[in-house]
Amino acid sequence: MSDNPEVRGLADLATDLAGTHRAADAGDRGVDPAVVESDLRTLTRDGHVILPDLLGAAELERIRGEALALLGPPGRNSFEGHRTQRLYSTLTKTRVTDRLVDHPRVLALLDRLLLPGYLLSQLQVINILPGENAQLLHPDDGFYPVPRPRRALSAATIWAIDHFTEDNGATVVVPGSHRWGDGRVPTDADPRCPSVMPAGSCVLFLGTLWHGGGANDSGSARLAVTAQYCEPWLRTQEAFTLSTPRDVARAVSPEIRRMLGYGIYPPFIGMVDGMHPERLLEGPPALP
């Protein structure tokens, strides 16, 4: 807790009481502010933005090799995709996607979109196999019962590990649909846009944007990694604090650790037994 614990009114609680584990101001994470501004302008206007060519060939090969080996059988329903393989809880199974989760270009945008202390809500590998149908269009934060139109409560990245093409399942977005109110759903009159981009790029979109995996009418699979992030006061889709062993929480970067729940949304949301959750990782492992 802070050096000055006097609380005279609710306004005093608005400051961070996280003491030694207080989050530092991240600036633009080393990214040129003009680039962040430009990404943000596109994102605000269209609801989505493509961040091109962020990963090199060697890294893509490493991700592809490890991810494909970890994937299992296809999905259990048409939303997961009967011809789509998904790997959940990816951080507990491999380190190769870490750099995607805390990529500076992504975090610089999230820092401007979401409140400090935002969380990782979902991390999946998604491999859309040939013959898969288009996924039902949906907004990712539609399951939070907060009326629209409104600010997005979450944002998602979908990283192209293979090239995303017109016909291999590139994520389809409905530009401008992030501004729609409750009750409006996409019709044939609404333009849809496949996120065509070279491998190593990612599309970042707001949680309010209608989108879905595309149909794969090509002869080869479309491999992707998706990381989703949400406001720090919301429940995450995957309960990472339950699913991530403590040795994994110690192994990831401080940013990812914070996004897994080892952080505080000021003044004390996310605390454990009255203390900052990072303290769980200090000292020798606790006895069972």
Enumerate residues 6+ apart whose C-beta is below 8 A from 234: 119, 121, 144, 153, 154
DSSP secondary structure code for residue 250 in this structure:
H
Binding of residue 165 to ligand AKG (CB under 6 A) = no
Binding of residue 117 to ligand AKG (CB under 6 A) = no
- Tell me if 95 sits within 8 A of 179, measured CB to CB: no
Measure the CA–CA gap between 39 and 109, rounded to whole angstroms: 8
CB of 125 to ligand AKG, least distance (A): 10
Binding of residue 230 to ligand AKG (CB under 6 A) = no
CB of 42 to ligand AKG, least distance (A): 19
Q: Which long-range CB contacts under 8 A does 240-245 form with residues at least 24 apart?
A: 240/91, 240/119, 240/120, 241/277, 243/89, 243/92, 244/89, 244/91, 244/92, 245/92
Binding of residue 194 to ligand AKG (CB under 6 A) = no
Number of residues this chain uses to bind ligand AKG (CB under 6 A) = 8
Q: Which two tokens stand for residue 212?
A: 């879905």
Q: Which stretch binds ligand AKG (CB under 6 A): 18-26, 208-216, 243-251, 270-278?
A: 208-216
Closer to ligand AKG by Cβ: residue 178 or 276: 178
Q: How many CB atoms lie within 10 A of CB 164?
A: 26
Binding of residue 142 to ligand AKG (CB under 6 A) = no
Question: Using CB under 6 A, which of 18, 50, 91, 224 touches ligand AKG?
Answer: 224
Q: Do you know the residue count of the chain? A: 288
Closer to ligand AKG by Cβ: residue 164 or 262: 164
CB of 87 to ligand AKG, least distance (A): 12
- The footprint of ligand AKG (CB under 6 A) covers 126, 135, 158, 171, 211-213, 224
